[in-house]
Chain A
């Protein structure tokens, strides 16, 4: 009975959530439309119809899909590389104190520098093209994911490790059966934060003399004051971001639903 009630509550909750989301979207469009008629902002915010008319225009120019594809490849590669490096480095930091003492200050230091600042150095070292884009995104995502995973590992409840030990677990069992599942929530949080950083670093990454890409196109459209396609591209980046986040959140719910409380 109790679960019946909860289920019913759940469905109407969901409906209510959708309703609010639709309302939020409608309000955004209204604000946008107001901005598009106000004299001081109308040049930056062409109205919604004009912006969406840019979709076929940009396809016609043969750039829209190429830009999306190029950006997704750079972001995907850099992000994947960032994760593959961050995971072992975070584990090493948690496990071996001298390593942490040396490496953590570097990470904290670099983390506060906007990537745009060190882009020229990377271009000088790696040239133009795909390589520097991937490097910039790798660095940015590595930093955030490494710190997040490390913080998670060191905050694992020590009594769980003690309990496993007294129940007969050896070091290997503790690693696989306790540390791995206990750090999974933090790894997923890191994956989510990393995805967001990967996208916010896109403009910096593609300012390395890229030939295509969402970030590169926004900059080049800016040179001709083509605000309508610019706005379209900005919205596309936003849509990609929110889609990726939703997918990761779904994954979190599936894999770590056992958690007492959810963070961030």
Chain B
């Protein structure tokens, strides 16, 4: 497998998570095992409600697993940590802070202040092409711009692992494609370990080195597909015959699970 000859960054070990629902216990995840290598880009697809967000929140330390454990850099995860950053689907920008102050927030939490902090913040605001909007409030930005700010903010925190929960899910197709390309370019430069959830098989394939397919509730890992398409990738990669072959395969697997949910 792609990860074997590299250092292991994240170990997910036999994770199970149950919620207390109104009609009884809901098993969201059961027996999930996954290793993520250092610098790896892993994408996750699966039908709605299969526990993708739950898994991400457990890795982030926002949720405790019911049993099993997660290791980051060999350390068991309990609570959030500076080694892990999250980009949420709903942007989660602080509406009372300007773009720049949003990006400064994680720096402030790390005791980085003043000119040094400004410089880092502006570097990432430039990275997402928003320097003209540095002093704007989130309400003055489009959805795509808001998500760019959220990405810049996550980068400014300088995590080793970026966890992204359908970050482009609410965006139109064009903005989405553009942000995918930006994310790809950044990843190739910075090579941060990425764990990226999506509903979109195209997106999972264009970004990931491996695509994790999850099964319907209780969420389990159904299959892991190695995407042996070299980087740099771009939109033309989506026409590649091998890409289409993989896409068909993943799509049919996800569709099966979707039918499973409908039953």
Q: Does B178 contact A (CB under 8 A)?
A: no
Q: A166-B62, A166-B80 are known contacts. Are A259 and B95 too (CB-CB below 8 A)?
A: yes
Q: A167-B157, A259-B139, A260-B95 are known contacts. Are A162 and B88 too (CB-CB below 8 A)?
A: yes
Most A-side CB within 10 Å, residue of B82, B88, B96, B157: B96
Chain B's nearest CB lies how many Å from the CB of A250? 18
Chain A's nearest CB lies how many Å from the CB of B116? 16
A163 and B95 contact, CB distance less than 8 A: no
B109 and A168 contact, CB distance less than 8 A: yes
B 73-112 contacts with A by CB, 8 A: 80, 82, 84-86, 88, 90, 92, 94-97, 105-106, 109-110
B109 and A181 contact, CB distance less than 8 A: no
A258 and B80 contact, CB distance less than 8 A: no
Q: Please report the C-alpha to C-alpha distance between residue A168 and residue B157 in the assembled complex, in whole angstroms.
A: 8
Chain B's nearest CB lies how many Å from the CB of A141? 26
Q: Does A248 contact B (CB under 8 A)?
A: no
A181 and B157 contact, CB distance less than 8 A: no
B96 and A167 contact, CB distance less than 8 A: no
Interface residues on A, range: 20 to 34
Q: A178-B94, A258-B95 are known contacts. Are A163 and B86 too (CB-CB below 8 A)?
A: yes
Q: A181-B94, A260-B95 are known contacts. Are A173 and B88 too (CB-CB below 8 A)?
A: no
B62 and A167 contact, CB distance less than 8 A: no
Q: Please report the C-alpha to C-alpha distance between residue A150 and residue B139 in the assembled complex, in whole angstroms.
A: 25
Q: Does B137 contact A (CB under 8 A)?
A: yes
Chain B's nearest CB lies how many Å from the CB of A169? 6
Q: Please report the C-alpha to C-alpha distance between residue A181 and residue B157 in the assembled complex, in whole angstroms.
A: 22
A162 and B95 contact, CB distance less than 8 A: no
Query: Looking at chain B's contact residues, is the secondary structure mostly helix, strand, loop, or mixed?
Result: loop
Checking A167, A168, A260 against B139 with a beta-carbon cut-off of 8 angstroms, the contacting residue is A260
B92 and A163 contact, CB distance less than 8 A: yes
B 160-205 contacts with A by CB, 8 A: none
A 160-193 contacts with B by CB, 8 A: 160, 162-169, 173, 177-178, 181-182, 184
Residue interface bits B11-45, CB-to-A below 8 A is 1, else 0:
00000000000000000000000000000000000
Q: Does A12 contact B (CB under 8 A)?
A: no
Q: Please report the C-alpha to C-alpha distance between residue A168 and residue B108 in the assembled complex, in whole angstroms.
A: 9
A167 and B105 contact, CB distance less than 8 A: yes
A165 and B62 contact, CB distance less than 8 A: yes
Q: Does A223 contact B (CB under 8 A)?
A: no
A 189-242 contacts with B by CB, 8 A: none
Chain A's nearest CB lies how many Å from the CB of B69? 19
Q: Please report the C-alpha to C-alpha distance between residue A154 and residue B113 in the assembled complex, in whole angstroms.
A: 32
A-B pairs with the 9 shortest C-beta distances? A168-B109, A163-B92, A167-B106, A159-B92, A181-B96, A166-B86, A258-B137, A258-B96, A260-B139
Q: What are 26 A-B pairs at a CB distance below 8 A?
A: A157-B90, A159-B88, A159-B90, A160-B92, A162-B62, A162-B86, A162-B88, A162-B92, A163-B88, A163-B94, A166-B60, A167-B105, A167-B106, A167-B109, A167-B157, A168-B80, A168-B106, A168-B110, A169-B105, A169-B109, A181-B94, A181-B96, A256-B96, A258-B95, A258-B97, A258-B139
